[in-house]
Amino acid sequence: MYGHVRAAAVAASLVLVAGGPLRGDEPPPAEPGARDDERAPKRKRAAGGRELDPEAPAAKALDALLHVPHAYAKDGTVRLSYTFDAAEQLEDWEAAGFDRAEEVGPRGGRKRRGAGRSRRLAIGAGSQRPGRLLHRLSLGDAWEVRVTGRITRMAPSTELVLFVGKAGVRFGTQFVGRTARGFAPLEGAEEPDREPFDRGQTFALGLRCSGGTVSATLDGKVVATTARFDEEATAGRVGLYAQNLMLVVDAITIEGRVDPSKL
């Protein structure tokens, strides 16, 4: 069912260029409050070895679609970072099936107007039905996704899957494929170890597709790899699938090549 993926890993970080003092033929400083991309519209901007392309049609479409900087580059890749310290960031995600999916303060209270940082995304999923958090963008066959958070309520029937398209990882180590009814382990996949997710421990869960291999990472270390997902399975939207838990998400980062036809 699954074949090999032809893909390349993509990673980038945005470098902002600030205006300097007036000298000779240099352009005048921007007005206070101007964005960096407005201060230097003709300067080259590099990010992780890539050249950014903020004037491309795809970049303009992303400007209108997303509520975080996207660092769109000429190679068609983006880098998104969600810390959920602004309510608008939730508009980039579709939440379905959850009992709760909202911003909260450091002690679990709802966000108040005018409140500062230290906000988080709180997700509550019941035991009767699963919930799904799905990002707006559709990625190609090269990407990396990372989620940092902690489970504050967990049960034997708890489920947690990070996925892109139809390729996912359950509790960090068991590869699963998306089906019409949820997710099913790949044949021969061992039951995952839930210990790193128990008792409210903070975890960093990652999934990436690179050079025909899908890798799962936990706290920065590669813990499982597979080449059993084909190209169709690894293309699609980023998501979290959860059931019977309370999850606090500190951050989600998404890096990869977008599908311009779906913007």
Please give the average per-residue pLDDT across 249-263, as a whole number: 92
Report if residue 24 sits inside a domain.
no
Answer whether residue 116 shows pLDDT above 50: no
Report if residue 53 sits inside a domain.
no
Report if residue 32 sits inside a domain.
no
**pLDDT value of position 119:** 75
Report if residue 224 sits inside a domain.
yes
Q: Which domain holds residue 256?
A: 81-262
**pLDDT value of position 211:** 81
- CB-based burial label for 232 (10 Å; 0-12, 13-18, 19+): middle
Report if residue 214 sits inside a domain.
yes
Alpha helices in the chain (DSSP H): 36-39, 57-65
Report if residue 54 sits inside a domain.
no
CATH code of 243's domain: 2.60.120.560
**pLDDT value of position 48:** 66
Task: State pLDDT tens for residues 171-217.
Answer: 999 999 999 889 999 998 899 999 989 889 999 999 999 888 999 99
Report if residue 26 sits inside a domain.
no
Cβ neighbours, 10 Å, residue 205: 24
Whether 216 contacts 190, CB under 8 Å: no
Task: State pLDDT tens for residues 205-247.
Answer: 999 998 889 999 999 999 999 999 998 999 999 999 999 999 9
Question: Considering only CA atoms, which of 241, 127, 142 is closest in space to residue 184?
Answer: 241
Counted domains in the chain: 1
Task: Report d(CA 128, CA 64) in Å as an integer.
Answer: 37
Report if residue 76 sits inside a domain.
no
